[in-house]
């Protein structure tokens, strides 16, 4: 009978060793899979940061391009404003010419009316 308790203890120790090996194996497997999961998450984050960096570089390039375009447009606008200022006197002269032409048209109309009146008088005098 003394052999039976020792056999039970040996059997239990064998099972404990087997359970310990299984637990150790499962723990090792769990940590490997956890490591793979964390590694994948880190790779994904790195890829996202790389994408964000590339997007920032592209946006910066676009901003620089737009800034250059705005500077060029501003330069052209300054040139146009200078040309417009130079032409203001010419515009004033054109306005004066138009005003003079309008006055001449009025005089021509008055002369035309007067000449028609004279013609009518001349015909009346000629008939008599």
How would residue 85 be classed by pLDDT, with cut points 50, 70 and 90?
A: very high
Stated as kind and residue range, the H or E segment containing 84 is helix 3-127
For the cut 60, the answer to whether the pLDDT of residue 79 exceeds it is yes
The whole-number pLDDT of residue 3 equals 55
- List the structure tokens of 74: 């501003």
- What are 43-70's pLDDT values in tens digits? 999 999 999 999 999 999 999 999 999 9
Strands (DSSP E) contained in the chain are none
Task: Show the tokens assigned to 112.
Answer: 């035309």
Q: Which of the four pLDDT bands, split at 50, 70 and 90, describes residue 9?
A: low
DSSP 8-state code for residue 1:
-
Average pLDDT rounded to a whole number, residues 67-86? 96
Q: Give dist(CA 102, CA 96) in Å, integer.
A: 10
């Amino acid at each position: 009978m003394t052999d039976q308790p020792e056999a039970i203890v040996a059997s239990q120790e064998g099972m404990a060793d087997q359970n310990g090996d299984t637990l150790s194996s499962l723990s090792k497997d769990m940590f490997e899979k956890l490591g793979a999961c964390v590694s994948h998450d880190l790779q994904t984050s790195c890829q996202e940061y790389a994408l964000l960096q590339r997007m920032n570089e592209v946006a910066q390039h676009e901003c620089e391009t737009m800034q250059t375009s705005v500077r060029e447009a501003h330069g052209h606008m300054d040139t146009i404003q200078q040309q417009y200022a130079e032409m203001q006197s010419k515009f004033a002269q054109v306005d004066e010419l138009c005003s003079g032409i309008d006055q001449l048209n009025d005089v021509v109309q008055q002369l035309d009316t007067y000449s028609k009146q004279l013609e009518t008088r001349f015909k009346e005098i000629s008939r008599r």
